[in-house]
Amino acid sequence: MNFRNQGRVNSDEREFFFNEDSRSGKTAYFTLKGHVGLKEASFMENALEKTARPGCNCIIINMCLVNSFSSAGIRVILAMYKKLKSMGGKLQIDNPSENVRNVIGLTALDELLLK
């Protein structure tokens, strides 16, 4: 496997894909695709926890291909945002799909997480 973290989950005909694409200095770039429910958020949390450390304190997640994003996904994103901020870093959502933008906007986290 070429990537540090890679996940595919197919449940109830809903696809999920979360992958670390690359690293540049202290920044890790991820792509998230599909449905993010409880099971998928758990996988995402584990992958992000393995990535966030003093040598990598900035995470950017491309979410243009996310078609549904649950409160479990929000919980993971917010927890990781707080952890990275305490390490002097940041978490940023890049290119959010309309669904992601709506969910994050409803939770009033758009100013923290969106570019």
What domains does the chain contain, in order, with CATH numbers?
6-113 (3.30.750.24)
Which helix (H) or strand (E) covers residue 19, if one does? Answer: strand 14-24
Query: Does the pLDDT value for residue 61 go beyond 90?
Result: yes
Rounded to whole angstroms, the Cα distance separating 53 from 70 reads 26
Nearest to 18 by CA among 35, 32, 1, 37: 32
Query: Length of the chain, please?
Result: 115
- The reported pLDDT for the residue numbered 79 is 95
Confidence band (pLDDT; 50, 70, 90) for 21? confident
SS3 71: helix
Model pTM greater than 0.95?
Answer: no
Per-residue DSSP letter, 110: H
Q: Which residues pair with 70 in a beta bridge?
A: none
Average pLDDT value for residue range 13-23? 73
Yes or no: say if 35 and 63 are a contact pair by the CB < 8 Å rule: no
- Residue 88: alpha-carbon gap to chain centroid: 18
For 9, 93, 94, 99, 107, the CA distances from 14, given in Å and listed in that order, are: 8, 22, 22, 15, 24
